[in-house]
Amino acid sequence: MPELTFSAYAAVYVYLIMLTIQWIVAAVTKAKQPNAVPGKLDSSLSHDSFVFRAHRTFMNSLENSPLFLATVFLGFFLNLNSMAFALCIWIYVAARLIHMILYYAIATEKNPSPRSYFFLIAAMANMVMLLLIGLRLL
3-class SS string, 40-61: CCCCCCCCCCHHHHHHHHHHHH
**Through-space distance between the first and last CA atoms of the chain, rounded to whole angstroms:** 22
Instruction: Establish if 114 belongs to a structural domain.
Output: yes
3-class SS string, 82-115: CHHHHHHHHHHHHHHHHHHHHHHHCCCCCCCCHH
User: Which DSSP symbol is given to 78?
Assistant: T
Q: Which of 27, 122, 119, 126 is nearest to 67 (CA)?
A: 126
Instruction: Establish if 38 belongs to a structural domain.
Output: no
- Average pLDDT along the chain: 91
CATH code for position 95: 1.20.120.550
**pLDDT single digits (tens) 71-110:** 999 999 999 878 999 999 999 999 999 999 999 998 888 8
What is the torsional sign of CA 109, 113, 118, 123? Answer: positive
Residue 100: phi, psi to the nearest 5?
-60, -50
Instruction: Establish if 40 belongs to a structural domain.
Output: no
When divided into structural domains, the chain yields a total of 1
pLDDT in tens, the chain (138 residues): 556 667 899 999 999 999 999 999 999 999 888 887 777 777 888 888 999 999 999 999 999 999 999 999 999 999 987 899 999 999 999 999 999 999 999 888 888 889 999 999 999 999 999 999 999 998
Q: Which of 13, 137, 6 is nearest to 83 (CA)?
A: 6
Distance CA 127, CA 124 (A): 5
Residue span of the structural domain in which 57 resides: 2-33+46-137
